[in-house]
Chain A
Amino acid sequence: MKIVVCIKQVPDTVEVKIDPKTGTLIRDGVPSIINPDDKTGIEAALELKERVGGTVTVISMGPPQADVALREALAMGCDEAYLVSGREFGGSDTYATSGILAAALRKIGYDIIVTGRQAIDGDTAQVGPQIGEKLGIPQVSYVQEIKEAAEDHLVVNRYFEDGYHIIKIKTPCLLTAIAELAKPRYMTVSGIVDAYEKEIKIIGFEDLKDDLELDMIGLKGSPTNVYKSFTKEVKGAGTILKDVSADQAVAAIMEKLEAKHII
């Protein structure tokens, strides 16, 4: 069984701060990490391999620096790693990204594809399903448990806000992972050593161009375009009461509730 995990290197958004003077993002010194849902996906894939055998391949699209994320995945125990990288791919939205990744996946082959549900920088949750569509394979997103694994099918729990479905899906298929699915293991020392001995294979534009919608990649080919980005307008503080007694505070709240017809 060939299991392929798609991962993204992202800035740790918890560490991102806004420059109070310019209102822009301060990215300097913000560490890059494997997107958390994708790391869950790696763990789920490794556990799947332990159950049914096979290999775990990890693939990422990004700049050359994204090899750090791939090395980490290798150190966790993945067998091989591919970096999809090229100037032509820069600025791709989810449609374009999924088209490029699908072409790369067709090239390397797969039985099961695992992606994280969503990345913490873009929060779109779109690339997984869009890869599934471009490959013409069924998907189950929001997977919270893999109950049964066999060569030709899986049985998984699919999360909904009001419960879950237990779903049987035939391979080849694509799953998107949510945090509940697995708790990522740590890298091992031998894994780290191995990771630096392994080669990260590069897949570039030339390797994929015959299998791409050439007018639908990169910034120019993306169907959506960013018009503007900005920091949020803060609502603006109202009254702040300091150094008041509890009774005064309660009176002020009651007055406000009456004025606004809450009570």
Chain B
Amino acid sequence: MSKGIYVVVEQRNGKVQNVGLELIGEATRLKADLNEDVVAVLLGSDIKGEVNKLYEFGADKVVLIDHPYLKEYVTEPYTKALTQVCKEYEPHIMLFGASSIGRDVAPRLASRIKTGLTADCTGLRIAKTDEELAKEEALGNTDPKRGLLMTRPAFGGNIMATLMCPRTTPQMATVRPGVMKKIDRIPGRTGELIEMTVDYTEADMNIEILEVVKADKKSVDITEAKVLVSGGRGVGRNGYDMLRACADELGGEVASSRANVDDALCEWAKPEMQVGQTGKTVRPDLYLACGISGAIQHVAGMENSDLVISINKNDTAPIFQVSDLGIVGDVKVILPKLTEALKKYNAEKVVK
């Protein structure tokens, strides 16, 4: 019988990526319903040093595949290794980050081992209600209580769909970075290490990487920020300094809506700052939406923020529907005043 919740942990430059830890966190929550081990699968070259971190973030076991072919991401060597994991250990569930890596290898793998794959999920749960169990059974699941329900946006975020993978295992899903939560790190927590060898031949490296180019500047990752001050059309082309000043007082970063990123004359709004369906999903402690109307595609990327405060001139702006506090007013007047108030507050705090 297939068993275990497997998380394929993404690494880049030999470092485990956050999305992998987020998925291990989600796997520990699924474990509460399934009582199966959380197994992290780590592929790379010279990467053993990252293993302990995976236990500390919730993995019970780690399957480690260490090979020079796995240093940089290449479809075939990764697919071959994961195929072997699936054949040897028969995972019940397998999760991937919905990144440019996960969304390349997961479909290739699902096709090879003949199972279903649900893309870009934002919610996972185990079938529980009578209705869910009945549906799993009707669709041919012989073990409905272990059925995975995978929820994802479709039609550009206009609707949500929940999918099942009732007849084949592993039940596979890719999950958007920034949607699931890591568990608090448990220093010293340990687990079982399984080192797996894959017999590669030269034919497995079926492409040739001529050059690896890393983005030259260390751009800020808005999905990591605790506070985001995000600007929309209402802030415009010259609004960056105003957003930056406020973000600095809050210890946060600047993000943008699609309107500014698409505006060729808006120089400050870079694609990596874009929040939304076609940009990044963020869940900061505070999302301060400045002059953002809140189209459904934007809301899809920020609605899981803990606290949403928005400032917009238009009192019918949809952003107010997802805001904890909405201010109808001119962001160009209110935001600088807020920055001043924060500056004063921070200065007084230092004195205290």
Question: Could you tell me which A residues sit within 8 Å of B by CB distance?
Answer: 11, 13-14, 16-18, 25, 93-95, 98, 120-130, 132-134, 138-142, 155, 159-170, 216, 222-232, 234-244, 246-247, 249-254, 256-257, 260, 262-263
Contact = CB atoms under 8 A, between A and B. Distances in A.
Contacts of A95: 110-111, 114-117
Q: Could you say which interface size class chain B belongs to?
A: 35 or more
Nearest to B12: A162
Interface stretch (B28-36, B37-45, B180-188, B202-210): B202-210
Task: List the 8 shortest-distance A-B pairs measured between CB atoms, nearest first.
Answer: A223-B116, A13-B156, A224-B116, A124-B119, A133-B111, A126-B107, A238-B324, A163-B214
B193 interface: no
23 contacts: A18-B159, A95-B116, A121-B155, A123-B154, A129-B108, A130-B107, A130-B108, A132-B108, A133-B79, A140-B75, A164-B213, A167-B209, A223-B114, A228-B162, A229-B154, A231-B158, A237-B322, A238-B325, A240-B315, A240-B327, A243-B328, A249-B337, A254-B342
Contacts of A169: 206-208
B-side interface mostly: mixed
Interface string B193-217: 0000000000000111111111100
Interface of B: 12, 72-73, 75-76, 79, 99-101, 103-104, 106-108, 110-112, 114-120, 132, 135, 139, 149, 152-168, 206-215, 227, 250, 285-286, 303, 306-309, 311, 315, 320-330, 333-334, 337-338, 341-342, 345-346
Nearest to A14: B156
Contacts of B116: 93, 95, 222-224
Given A123-B153, A222-B116, A241-B325, A227 B162 contact: yes
Contacts of A167: 207-210
Nearest to A262: B286
B328 A241 contact: yes
A249 B213 contact: no
A251 B338 CA distance: 8
A247 B337 contact: yes
A252 B168 contact: no
B323 A142 contact: no
Contacts of B118: 224
Given A133-B112, A241-B328, A159 B100 contact: yes
Contacts of B161: 226, 228-230
Contacts of A227: 132, 135, 149, 162-164
A173 to B, nearest CB: 8
A237 B213 contact: no
A123 B214 contact: no
Given A133-B112, A230-B159, A241-B328, A168 B212 contact: no
Contacts of A25: 155, 158-159
Contacts of B117: 94-95, 126, 223-224
A165 B208 CA distance: 10
